[in-house]
Structure 1
Amino acid sequence: MSETIMDYPLRTHDKLRFSDTDKQGHINNAVYSTFYETGRTQTFEEAHKAADNDDCEFVIAQITIQYLAETHWPGTVEIGTRIKRVGNSSLVLEQAIFSNGNLCSTGESICVQINTASRKSQPFDDALRNYFESLMEN
């Protein structure tokens, strides 16, 4: 079965810029990390609305990107995000980038919630855990 943007409960987009291109004329590999950041930012902005507390933020512990097809300027890309696993204070996000409906890249990020004052990991509250679990792949 082929992945589509509809396989991801959170969807957003980014505009491709000419400055994103490289010597070969396609979107540079480094720009994909920025696309994935767009999806993570949306995810965590929604998470803050769902949380019972506001004394935390998220940091990235690891990111892995697979490049599957070239993407070319001009245009836009769609970014899909879903949750793969929810831990005590960390979660794994699965993401994908689509251009013209074609899967171009997949990524996986491990993110940790930290307390803004102590800068140490902080367990998810029940409301936040429920929100993240609602974004898991069926």
Structure 2
Amino acid sequence: MSQPGSSKPVIRLDDYPYRLTDNVRFGDQDPNQHVNNASFAVYFETSRVSLIRAPAFGLMPEGLSWVLAHLAIDFKAEVHWPGTVELGLAVSRLGRTSVTYDQVIFHNGICAASAVAITVLVDRHTRKPAPLTDDVIAKFQPWMRRAPSA
């Protein structure tokens, strides 16, 4: 679905199966009195890490770890303190050793930023990429990208 007069699809938080809320901190602001771009990267990290490291989801195989290989952010609107942000995450691709995430930040009902992030599974000792296990692939399925809402 696109916005009227636009070929860009509407970004909807409901299309992201993993969601959480985070606080906008006073220290997230820059001298322009809006949230600094580096803080957006931290919000995106918060959603990825809270999913990957939650023991209930089982996405941390023994002896392996996740490292960030790529992060591309599109800034769409300012965020201001005080308040909260709604974070959305969807897995868009499972590679041989990597996971690609589509992520969004909403503030006051408006998409303030979107990102694509890629993490790579690595052996903790050799620091070399490790193939995703069948178990990890299965456990990522609930977080796969949903079809855009109509």
TM-score (norm 2): 0.85
Whole-Å separation in 2 of the counterparts to 1:93 and 1:78? 16
Q: Which amino acid aligns with 1:89?
A: T
Q: Does the alignment pair 1:65 with 2:76?
A: no
The answer to whether the Cα contact below 8 Å between 2:86 and 2:106 also exists between their aligned partners in 1 is: yes
Match of 1:74 among 76, 82, 96: 82
TM-score (norm 1): 0.92
Whole-Å separation in 2 of the counterparts to 1:112 and 1:137? 18
Whole-Å separation in 1 of the counterparts to 2:79 and 2:59? 36
Whole-Å separation in 2 of the counterparts to 1:28 and 1:52? 31
The answer to whether the Cα contact below 8 Å between 1:86 and 1:133 also exists between their aligned partners in 2 is: no
Q: Which residue of 1 aligns with 2:44?
A: 36
Alignment coverage as a number of residue pairs: 138
Aligned-pair CA distance for 1:25: 1.2
Q: Which residue of 2 aligns with 1:21?
A: 29
**Aligned pairs (5 A) from 1:1-138:** 1=1, 2-46=10-54, 49-51=57-59, 53-138=61-146
Aligned-pair CA distance for 1:17: 1.4
The answer to whether the Cα contact below 8 Å between 2:53 and 2:59 also exists between their aligned partners in 1 is: no
Q: Which amino acid aligns with 2:15?
A: D
Identical aligned pairs, as a percentage? Answer: 33
The answer to whether the Cα contact below 8 Å between 1:112 and 1:121 also exists between their aligned partners in 2 is: yes
Q: Which runs of 5+ in 2 are unaligned?
A: 2-9
